[in-house]
Amino acid sequence: MLKLLPLCLLLLCPSLPAAERLVWGLLPTPGHVNVVDGKPKDGAALESLWLLARHLPDIEMEYQLVNAPRLDRALSEGAPLCTSGSIRTAQRDQLAYFVPYLLVTPMQLIVRAGEQERFPLRNGKVLLPQLFADPQLRGAFSTTRIYPQPLAATLEQANRAGQLQAIGVWTDQLLLMLSHDRFDYSFEFMAPVRAIARHPQLGTALATLPLAEFDQMAESGLYCPRSAWGRAMAERLDGAVRALAAEQQPLLEFYRHHLTAESYRDYAPAIAAHYRQRAQGPSRFE
């Protein structure tokens, strides 16, 4: 009788439900989604999803690399996948539900180290109108990159005026081109710049300068398609973000790890206040 007991227990006990699978489509970006052997390995965007997974025990996460056109096509077709690390844009809002999650420190001007004195500064910050008007300084930005508003509109306007070059390359390629004197400056967040510093093909080391007109943090987050499945998943992810925001300490440690000591000192109070507010109530999905 004792030998039959485990089998009896197995027959009497209901089977556990299988975890729901959630595919994350991730854009390979140094510092945000680092790639090793063709697969996402680590980086701020990926590690933020690992934090979130603690509050989604019934979801099994899978991570896939995608490019921006493929991602937008999948979202527009209602494919059952979500994406992370996206700056909110009106264009993508038409394709998917946005779940606010992370704050990112302001985008910086990226230059070659030792050349900072070539750029027009006021109180240590770059003046973009004067910069764009200087024909001796050649700048470029990536058409594959999402830039926060209103900076994105400013870059596009400068491009139309012939003052700024638009190049269809990935972030790491753009930064490597800058390091090899292909142009004099570009625009990027801190994480990719810190990551590219370890790249074996880097030429001259890169440095950052703050922008005078664009010194506000931007909000990035998660996107899920505008379908019944996408809305339900967005609501579950929003609940997990609020639960994580209520804890707060894991998120502050996340920022401490991914920001420079100076940036963390400057922005930690605003980040903490943001997450106290974020924990209060659900996002609205319309």
Mean pLDDT confidence for 196-216: 94
Question: Given the DSSP bridges, would you call strands 140-142 and 165-167 parallel, antiparallel or unpaired?
Answer: parallel
Give pLDDT, residue 76.
95
Mean pLDDT confidence for 203-232: 95
- Confidence grade of residue 5 (pLDDT, cut at 50, 70, 90): very low
> d(Cα 140, Cα 142) in Å, to the nearest integer?
7
Tokens of 119: 């750029």
> d(Cα 48, Cα 258) in Å, to the nearest integer?
11
> d(Cα 251, Cα 213) in Å, to the nearest integer?
28
Provide the β-strand partners of residue 218.
104
Tokens of 153: 């509109």
Q: With a cut of 60, say whether residue 16 has pLDDT above it.
A: no
Give pLDDT, residue 7.
40
The set of residues, in sequence order, having a beta carbon less than 8 Å from that of 116 and lying 6+ positions away, is: 207, 209
Give pLDDT, residue 144.
87
Of 139-143, 153-157, 214-218, 277-281, minimum mean pLDDT range: 214-218
Whether 33 contacts 45, CB under 8 Å: yes
Whether 41 contacts 35, CB under 8 Å: yes
- Confidence grade of residue 9 (pLDDT, cut at 50, 70, 90): very low
Closest C-alpha among 145, 197, 155, 190 to residue 176 = 197
Closest C-alpha among 88, 111, 106, 117 to residue 212 = 106
Phi, psi torsion values for 110, nearest 5 degrees: -110, 125
Provide the β-strand partners of residue 206.
112
Whether pTM > 0.95 for this model: the answer is: no
Whether 82 contacts 233, CB under 8 Å: yes
Q: With a cut of 70, say whether residue 13 has pLDDT above it.
A: no
Whether 222 contacts 88, CB under 8 Å: no
Share of the chain above pLDDT 90, in %: 81
Mean pLDDT confidence for 64-69: 90
pLDDT in tens, 83-136: 998 889 888 999 999 999 999 999 999 999 999 999 999 999 999 999 999 999
Give pLDDT, residue 17.
53
> d(Cα 129, Cα 137) in Å, to the nearest integer?
12
Give pLDDT, residue 83.
96
Buried b vs exposed e over 137-154: b needs ≥16 C-beta within 10 Å? bebbbbebbbbbeebbeb
> d(Cα 48, Cα 61) in Å, to the nearest integer?
13
Q: Starting from the edge strand earliest in sequence, which strands make up the sheet with 59-65, in order?
A: 59-65, 20-26, 81-87, 218-225, 96-104
Mean pLDDT of the chain: 91
